[in-house]
């Protein structure tokens, strides 16, 4: 059994598993008059996980993104590290909304990096 920690890996693995189950179900019942509908299962990635992955490049859901202040670190750190907790909470909500609406998440990425600068 393989444990998947990354949100995008989990999404891909879930889709592959759904396709595999669907193909087995279809081939099993092709000659039979009984038809079954495979259950619709989906993986939902939280906005916080999308933010960690897309802005900070983190794939481990248990690892927190750095939260730094410019006064303490100067400007030598990546600008995304200086997003406040409120900024991150807002961006997480925006990532979730954009994903649910089917929008291109690169627009939210642009917003995140613009807010960080």
For the chain, the domains span: 1-43, 44-117
The pLDDT assigned to 23 comes to 65
Q: How confident is the model at residue 1 (pLDDT cuts 50, 70, 90)?
A: very low
Residue 98 has pLDDT above 90, yes or no: yes
What integer best gives the mean pLDDT of the chain? 72
Is 0.85 topped by the overall pTM?
A: no
d(CA 82, CA 65) in angstroms, rounded, equals 10
Q: How confident is the model at residue 110 (pLDDT cuts 50, 70, 90)?
A: very high
The pLDDT assigned to 69 comes to 56
112 vs 25, 33, 44, 61, 84, CA distance in Å? 43, 53, 21, 19, 11
Q: Which residues have CB under 8 Å from 105's CB, separation 6+? A: 50, 54, 95, 98, 99
Least confident of 4-8, 20-24, 62-66: 4-8
């Amino acid at each position: 059994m393989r444990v998947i920690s990354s949100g995008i890996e989990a999404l891909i693995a879930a889709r592959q598993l759904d396709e595999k189950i669907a193909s087995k179900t279809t081939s099993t019942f092709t000659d039979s008059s009984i038809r079954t509908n495979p259950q619709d299962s989906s993986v939902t990635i939280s906005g916080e996980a999308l933010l960690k992955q897309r802005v900070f490049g983190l794939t481990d859901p248990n690892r927190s993104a750095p939260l730094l202040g410019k006064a303490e670190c100067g400007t030598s750190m990546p600008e995304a590290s200086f997003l406040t907790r409120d900024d991150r909470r807002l961006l997480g909500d925006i990532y979730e909304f954009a994903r649910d609406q089917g929008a291109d998440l690169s627009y939210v990425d642009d917003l995140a990096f613009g807010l960080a600068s």
